[in-house]
Structure 1
């Protein structure tokens, strides 16, 4: 059984509140979980001490049992100093998609043609 430490969403529409849980990875996000390890309230200010509350002993236990963390929970654990910070580098994340690159190329080609067309009559006038 693969255990994940992840967030389970609660709260009403537009008012999220999350539980940090240890759950079987095959269960639904908000479904059955093994143990509640803490809470996360994203509506509170970032410097609030009750924004993220975790039972760090139990988190350490589950990590010792081989549980994997989701990216968001891993970041919370890094901030708490439970796990070492790891480098995240995705240099291609900010690059435009294929269609956007094609549109940009077409726009650049059109601008180049317009510049060439504007330069041609000026050359002919200078030759006369």
Structure 2
């Protein structure tokens, strides 16, 4: 059995781009990812966002303009971003950041579908349990 520790790429560069609101991260396997702050925030690995078990995830809404105000190292294995909405409890391991980058397109699509199903846009709303659905309509936000 191969040693899995060697299979997880290590970061070689980490750059916060506050103007474009992305975290650029490069790994020693040649992968480069540009992770939007909004994606990092809504997929925070914290219990506050993920809950304490399956089905307890909390849909994060209104995070389009969130900023990363600080990025603290956690040992040699992770970073802890501080977001402009005061969220700062998520610890992002290198393998989690790599997973976010590798799965970014699908994660983004899943997030947008959850928002729409709950009747929110990226600009509006409040944090609600992901299992909560609103009755009626298609969640398009147009009510007459």
Give the shorter-chain TM-score range.
Answer: under 0.3
User: In terms of Rg, which structure is larger?
Assistant: 1
Query: Which of the pair has the greater relative contact order for Cα pairs under 8 Å at 6+ separation?
Result: 2
Normalised by the length of structure 2, the TM-score is: 0.20
TM-score (ref. length: structure 1): 0.22
